[in-house]
Amino acid sequence: MIRRLNEKDDAACQNLLSKKPAENLFIIGDIENFGYEQDFQKLWGDFNEQNELIAILLKYRSNYICYAEQEFDAEGFAEIINNDPEFKELSGLKEMTEKVLPYIKRTSLKTRTLYYAKCEKNKETTPDLSDVRLAEIADVPKIVALQDSISEFEPDNTRAESLKKGMENGSSRTFYLEKDGKIVSSASTTAENSKSAMVVGVCTDVNYTQRGYASLCMTKLCEELLSEEKMLCLFYDNPAAGSIYKRIGFEDIGKWMMHIFESIHQKA
């Protein structure tokens, strides 16, 4: 049986999601930040015959994510998605999305596959991290200048505001390394919650690559978060980058799918 979830279901939700905090980083974070009664966020649960919660479907704006430990009513979740005129994206672990996809009735426009990795323990040996610093609001312009210079990063005119808001509300932090009066490498978190955080924005100025600076920023970031008993997660699609993350302590936990669909307005 599928029904809308509310605050009274929170204990059951946390019990299901907390078993896999990395896999459920986004759902956990969105529940902690926005709860169950928002115009832009809704949650549904699939319950078995014993009235136990076995699967969760989250809507955040136009994006849907689902999670289950066992077989669930994928067709029922898809019916909710199909009836939503705002729906544009289905994302999540491959083993979740591939169950729902056959029942989605919209036209698929694009699919992106990323490796999903987590880190839950420190490396045995730690390099000298004395030059790596925690960014403050005043450092945001320099960090944005670095990120804007990275060709692999998508253009984004909201970077500065996002960094500032994240620092202010505690949902993100950035560690950086400075050389010759400018920030040349950095690594950030986003979507931090009580159990986990997503690593983003790992980059190095093109004139300072191959010196291990990004690894130092990443190592400091991991050290800090793990000391707070938070698991770290990240996406990557570049095997070379993946090998660097694995040396730091990350391990692959699956593939993360992002399926973009035609909206009803586009179809009309």
Give yes or no: residues 53 and 97 share one domain.
Answer: yes
Q: HSE-up of 36 (CA within 13 Å, CB side)?
A: 16
**Helix, strand, or coil (residue 61):** coil
Over range 171-194, report the average pLDDT.
95
Residue 144 sits in the same domain as residue 29:
no
Average pLDDT estimate for 200-211: 95
pLDDT at 184 over 50: yes
pTM above 0.75, yes or no: yes
Does 47 share its domain with 15? yes
Verify that 109 and 94 share a domain, yes or no.
Answer: yes
- In this structure, the answer to whether residues 110 and 128 fall within a common structural domain is no
Q: What percent of the chain has pLDDT over 70?
A: 98
Whether 186 shows a pLDDT value over 70: the answer reads yes
Range of the domain at 142: 122-248
Q: In this structure, are 244 and 260 located in the same domain?
A: no
Tell me the pLDDT tens digit for each residue of 48-98. 999 999 999 999 999 999 999 999 999 999 999 999 999 999 999 999 999
Number of domains the chain is built from: 2
Q: Which two tokens stand for residue 121?
A: 């323990």
- Do 213 and 135 fall within a single domain? yes
Question: What is the spatial distance between Cα 150 and Cα 160, in angstroms, rounded to a whole number?
Answer: 15
Assess whether pLDDT exceeds 50 at residue 268: no
98 lies in the same domain as 148: no
**Same domain assignment for residues 7 and 26:** yes
130 and 241 share one domain: yes
pLDDT tens digits along 17-49: 999 999 999 999 999 989 998 999 999 999 999
Mean pLDDT, all residues of the chain:
94
* The pLDDT of residue 124: 59
Q: Where are the beta strands (DSSP E) in the chain?
A: 2-4, 41-47, 53-60, 63-68, 89-93, 108-119, 132-134, 174-179, 182-190, 196-204, 231-236, 251-261
DSSP string of 151-212, one letter each residue = TTSPP-TTHHHHHHHHHHHTS--EEEEEETTEEEEEEEEES--SSEEEEEEEEE-GGG-SSS
Distances (CA, A) of 10 to 53, 57, 178, 244: 11, 14, 43, 37
- What does the pLDDT read at residue 46? 98
Is there a single domain that holds both residue 126 and residue 160?
A: yes
Do 164 and 89 lie in one domain? The reply is no
Q: What is the pLDDT of residue 265?
A: 59
CATH number of the domain that 178 lies in? 3.40.630.30
